[in-house]
Amino acid sequence: MTKKLSNQEKKERKADRRKSKQQKAASPTVKTVTQPKPADLVTGTQEAQPVNLCDDCAYEFGECEGKPKFASDQDETLTGADADRVIECPAFVNVAKMPTADQAKKEPAVEDTIPEVVIVCSGGCGKTTEGMTLETRSGEFKQVDEGGVPQWTCQDCLDKATTESEEEREPETQVIRTDLPERPDPKRFQAEEDYGACQSCERPLKRTALNRYQDAIRCTNGRCRAYRAIVKTISTGVK
């Protein structure tokens, strides 16, 4: 048996239903596309213009944090590409309304003016910064102190000093050590020589390295019971 609601409980439930029907204010970035109804298409009062917000959005589909609504949510009869069209998305940013590169370009913080202080090149060539702009000045500047005039060396003097230092540099001599022991020639393994066959598996014996002075003739078949057993040794050619 169901208990009868009091007047106060009825008012509270009515208020809860009213709150549940209230909707939040739409986001300023949301763009809702209203699709034409079939009746309007028949009468010709509205033209069908299927729109996909992802085509006009600055973000790539799946790379944004938006939770889109698809055309299939509005019309369950749609299939294929028509059903996958995004008709509403809170993260939509219209790429056509974004500022261009020229509009976003800011004015340079420092004007291209002639330096107030004329500096003489420290390299001894006599050149000065007179008539040079901030873009045409070349060379190296060094701050002498916080309140003093910086030291400037023109690019020609820098290149000249670099050339002279390279000429004065002694050529590097290649040191060849003669105290190192002689190493066997690795090409000895490529020579085609007949060392006989293994007595167990009857496969050809191979030449393998044993140490600096001797090589071993043995079977290299991993399934053979005589695997890696040395049959005989021969010289590597190093004495």
The answer as to whether 80 is a domain residue is: yes
The answer as to whether 227 is a domain residue is: yes
Average pLDDT over residues 45-69: 74
Range of the domain at 221: 186-235
The answer as to whether 9 is a domain residue is: no
The answer as to whether 177 is a domain residue is: no
The answer as to whether 178 is a domain residue is: no
Residues 193 and 146 placed together within one structural domain of the fold: no
Given 54, 71, 96, the domain boundary residue is 96
Q: What is the pLDDT of residue 203?
A: 92
The answer as to whether 64 is a domain residue is: yes
Q: Which two tokens stand for residue 169?
A: 């540099």
Q: What is the pLDDT of residues 117-148, one digit of tens each?
A: 677 887 778 787 777 765 566 777 776 655 56
What SS3 string covers the chain? Answer: CCCCCCHHHHHHHHHHHHHHHCCCCCCCCCCCCCCCCHHHHHHCCCCCCCCCHHHHECCCCCCCCCCCEEHHHHCCCCCCCCCCCEEECCCCCEHHHCCCHHHHCCCCCCCCCCCCCCCEECCCCCCECCCCCCCCCCCEEECCCCCCCCEEECHHHHHHHHHHHHHHCCCCCCCCCCCCCCCCCHHHHHCCCCCCECCCCCCECEEEECCCCEEEEEECCCCCCCECCEEEEEECCCC
Write the CB contacts of 150 (distance below 8 Å, at least 6 apart in sequence).
Answer: 119, 141, 142, 143, 144
Residues 117 and 92 placed together within one structural domain of the fold: no
- CA pair distance 36, 40, nearest whole angstrom: 6
The more confident residue out of 93 and 3 is: 93
Q: How many domains does the chain have?
A: 3
The answer as to whether 20 is a domain residue is: no
CA atoms within 13 A on the CB side of 155: 4
Q: What is the pLDDT of residues 143-167, one digit of tens each?
A: 665 556 677 788 888 888 887 777 6
Prediction pTM value: 0.27
The answer as to whether 221 is a domain residue is: yes
Residues 89 and 44 placed together within one structural domain of the fold: yes
Given 47, 62, 96, the domain boundary residue is 96
Residues 120 and 92 placed together within one structural domain of the fold: no
Question: Over 90: is that where the pLDDT of 168 sits?
Answer: no
Write the CB contacts of 204 (distance below 8 Å, at least 6 apart in sequence).
Answer: 194, 195, 196, 197, 198
